[in-house]
Amino acid sequence: MSDDILQRLMAVLESRKGADPDSSYVAGLYHKGLDSILKKIGEESAETIIAAKSGDKQQIVYETADLWFHCLVMLAQQNLDARLVLDELERRFGVSGVDEKAAREQSK
C-alpha cells in the first residue's frame, strides 16, 4: 500500500510539471522554481519540529506528511525518482549509522 501511494504521488507530481500554475498548487511551485520549493521544505521542517515538541501525535503525522510531500516535489522538480531515496535507505539498512557516516567521510 505504501509503495502504491508513492507511485501515485510521483505520477501526479510529474503530470503537474506542464500544468497551468494557476490551476495547481504543485504547478505553481514548479513555476516559482527551486528556491520556492526549498523554502516550503524549510517551513514544513520547522512546523514538523514544532509539532514534535508539542507532543501532539496527530499534528506530528500531519506536518511530517507535508514535509515528505514537499520533499517529493523537490525530487520531481530535480527529475529524481523518489525510489532512489528508498533504494538508498535500503542500502543503509542493517549498516551501523556510525559505520555508514564514516564511509561517507572517507569518500569525500
* pLDDT of res. 106: 80
Series of mean pLDDT values for 10-residue runs along the chain (108 residues): 84 95 96 98 98 98 98 97 93 79 76
Beta strands in the chain (DSSP E): none
Contacts 24+ apart (CB under 8 A), 56-59: none
Other CB atoms within 10 Å distance of the CB of residue 70: 21
Q: Which cell numbers hold the place of 40?
A: 516550503
**Predicted TM-score (pTM) of this structure:** 0.85
Q: Which residue's C-alpha cell is 564511509?
A: 103
